[in-house]
Amino acid sequence: MTVSRQDFRDAMARLGAAVNVVTTAGPEGEAAFTASAVCSVTDDPPTLLVCLRRGSSVWPAVTGNGVLCVNTLAHGQRPVAEAFAGSSGPPMSERFGVAAWSRLITGAPVLDGAVVSFDCRIAEVVEKGTHSVLFADVLAIRQGSAHDQALIYFSRDYHGIGRMLGAG
């Protein structure tokens, strides 16, 4: 039995995932994209996996700069997710105007107020189907407020999740 592309996409819509905005900066410019295909690989050394479609408009910047920051969004940051969710819309420089940003080690933009941000250097790229699988060594971490709910994507929509500490 062969699984169709649409059946696979419909099934993946039932797999809830954290919403992240992955940023980069460097010689290839500043860019970002919204991603749910992010996960930990190992804690020794601390490494994340990020999937990025090779046909994406941000692919040359991300792979060319060799650095990225995975910013896991808080529930109230849905507008940030939406700003970077597609290739159409305002220019990248205007999209960054929807939020406040700072920098850590790599120079990639770090989202102020994110639940957590992982500042990384890309260590390896593996090509699979339509995507590049980026293995990224974590160089720095900034944790946000423990009281924030995280933003997840489930059933093709955004939702808040998590019990805020101190809440009944």
CB neighbourhood size of 108 (10 A)? 28
Domain residue extents for the chain? 19-155
Domain spanning 19-155: which superfamily?
Answer: Electron Transport, Fmn-binding Protein; Chain A (2.30.110.10)
pLDDT value at residue 164:
57
pLDDT value at residue 133:
97
pLDDT one-digit tens code per residue, 110-159: 999 999 999 999 999 999 999 999 999 999 999 988 777 899 998 888 88
pLDDT value at residue 163:
63
Say if residue 168's pLDDT is above 50. Answer: no
pLDDT value at residue 36:
92
Beta strands, E only, the chain: 17-18, 20-24, 31-35, 38-43, 46-53, 67-72, 101-103, 109-111, 116-128, 131-143, 150-154, 157-161
